[in-house]
Amino acid sequence: MATANQIPADTSVADHVTADLVVFVPAMPVEQFKGVLTSLEAAFSAESTIVATQNELPADAKTSLRIILTPQANPLWMLKAGDFIAAAQSGLDHEARTILILGPGADSLSSLALRSMADAVSTASVDLVVPHYSLPPHAGLINSAILYPLTRAVFASRVRFPLSLDLGLSARMAERLSAAARRIPASNQGETLLWPVNEAVAAGFTMDEVDAGSRAMPQPSDPDTNSILAMITGSLFADIESKAALWQRPRRTPPIRRAAPEAAQSDGSPDVARMVAAFRLANDNLQEIWSLVLSPNSLLMLKRCSVLEPADFRMPDNLWARIVFDFLIAYRLRTINRGHLLGALIPLYLAWVAGHINVIASGTPAERHIEAVAAAFEADKPYLVARWRWPDRFNS
C-alpha cells in the first residue's frame, strides 16, 4: 500500500474512491513506468483516472494522477494470469467501467492510442479492445505464423494480435478474465498465459481493434527462444482444446473494418540460409517423429521443400496450415510427449519464417502474405474439425 514517505505531497492516494477509468500497470523498469505516467497524464484527466500499479513511484516523479499500489509480483515480459486478477480487483474496488491494462514497454505507446482504447470501451461499449500495432516486417513472427492465423480460423476473430500486451476491458470482460485466471492454480498464475480474445468469443462479448502505431516489444530475459515458443504455442493449443465445444460450431469471420496500418520498413535481410539449414537437419533426423504427427502427403511436400535452395525456399500456405492443425490434433491426442511435440514443431516454424522472409524480399508486402496464410487456415478448418471428431481417420 502507499506510504507517505514515497509519494510527493501533490499526488493524492485514493484507496476507496470511484473512477471512470482504472489503468493497471504491472511491474516494469522505472524509466518505462515514468514514460507510462507521462502518456497517461497527456491522455486522461486526473479526476476520472486511477493508476493501479505494482511499481513504486520514483521519488523524482511528479504526477497529478491518483496512484494505488497493488501487491508486488515477479515481472514478466508479457501479461500473466495474475495481472488480470489484480486488474479486475482494482476495477471492482473503484467501480470503474473501463479498465486499461498496459504491459511492459507501454511507454512507447502514444497518448492517442491510449485514448482510443479507453474511448472504445467507454463510448462504443466494446467489451474487449485490442491494439493493432505497426511492427517491422520481421517482428512478431510467432504471432504472424501461428497465433493470428490459428485464432482467426478457430475462433473466427480478425484480431491481429491475439496475445496483446495492452488491452482495454469492460468491467464484465475483466471479471470474465479474472475468473479464468482464478481457475489456474495459484502457483502457476505467475507464468500461465491467458487468451483474452478466445475468452471474449467464448463469452459472446464484443471486440474491436484500434490502431496503436508502433510499439517497443519487450523480449524475454531467458534467451532460449525454443522453450518460449513451445510455451506460447502449447498454451494456445491447450486453450483451443478446452474450448473445443465452442469453435466446432460454424462461425463467420467478421469483415475487415479498417485497413491495416503501414508497417515500418526494415533494411537488410536476415540469414535465411541458417534457418533453411536448421530445417534440413530436422528433416534428416526427425522423420520418425514427424511421421507420427503429419500425414504422408505433408511429409512428401516437406521433402520437396528440403531440396530447395535458400534463396528460393518457400513453404506453401496450405502446407503450413495443415502442419499446425496436425500438431494441434497430436497435442490433443497426446500422440507423443507434448514437450517433444512442441520441440519438433520448431524447425518447421523456422522453415515458415525463412519462406516468409523470401516472400517479403520478393516485393510482396508482409501483411498480404500473412493474410494469405490466415485465409489458408480458414479454408482448411473443415479438416481440423473432421480430424478432431474422428481422430482415427487420416484424411490427407
Partner 1 sequence: MQNLLDNLLFQARQNPLPIPTYAQDVTIWHHMSDALHQSLYRVLTLLIAVLPGILAFFVALLIFAVAGVVISWILRRCLTWAKFDLRVARKGGADWAPSSSPTGIVARVAFWACVLLGLLIGVSAFDASYATGTALPISLLPYLTHAVGAALLLIAGILIARFLARSVLISAVNAQLQYARFLSLGVKWLVLVLTAAMVLDHLEVGGNIVELAFGILFGGIVLTLSLAVGLGSRDLVSRSLESHVEHAAERTHIPEETNSSASSIRHF
Binding site for partner 1 (CB under 8 A): 77, 105, 108, 136, 138-142, 183, 214-220, 223, 225-226, 228-229, 241-242, 244-245, 264-271, 274, 277-278, 281-282, 285-286, 289, 332-334, 336-337, 339-340, 343-344, 346-347, 353, 357, 391-392
Minimum Å distance from CB 345 to partner 1?
10
The set of residues, in sequence order, having a beta carbon less than 8 Å from that of 198 and lying 6+ positions away, is 151, 155, 162, 239, 240, 243
Angle between helices 171-182 and 81-93 (to 10 degrees): 140
Residue placing its CB nearer to partner 1 in the complex, 250 or 255: 250
Residue placing its CB nearer to partner 1 in the complex, 115 or 340: 340
Residue placing its CB nearer to partner 1 in the complex, 73 or 329: 329
Residue placing its CB nearer to partner 1 in the complex, 225 or 364: 225
Minimum Å distance from CB 347 to partner 1?
7
Minimum Å distance from CB 242 to partner 1?
5
Residue placing its CB nearer to partner 1 in the complex, 66 or 387: 387
Q: Which of 166, 178, 257, 248 is nearest to 215 (CA)?
A: 166
Helix (H) or strand (E) holding 23, with range, is strand 21-25
Give the residues across from 24 on adjacent strands.
52, 101
The set of residues, in sequence order, having a beta carbon less than 8 Å from that of 167 and lying 6+ positions away, is 79, 100, 101, 117, 128, 129, 130, 196
Minimum Å distance from CB 110 to partner 1?
10
Minimum Å distance from CB 52 to partner 1?
24
Minimum Å distance from CB 241 to partner 1?
6
Let me know: does 192 contact 184? Beta carbons within 8 Å. Answer: yes
Question: What's the CA gap between 271 and 332, in Å, rounded?
Answer: 34
What sign has the CA pseudo-torsion 298, 148, 178, 218?
positive
Residue placing its CB nearer to partner 1 in the complex, 18 or 285: 285
Question: What's the CA gap between 378 and 390, in Å, rounded?
Answer: 19
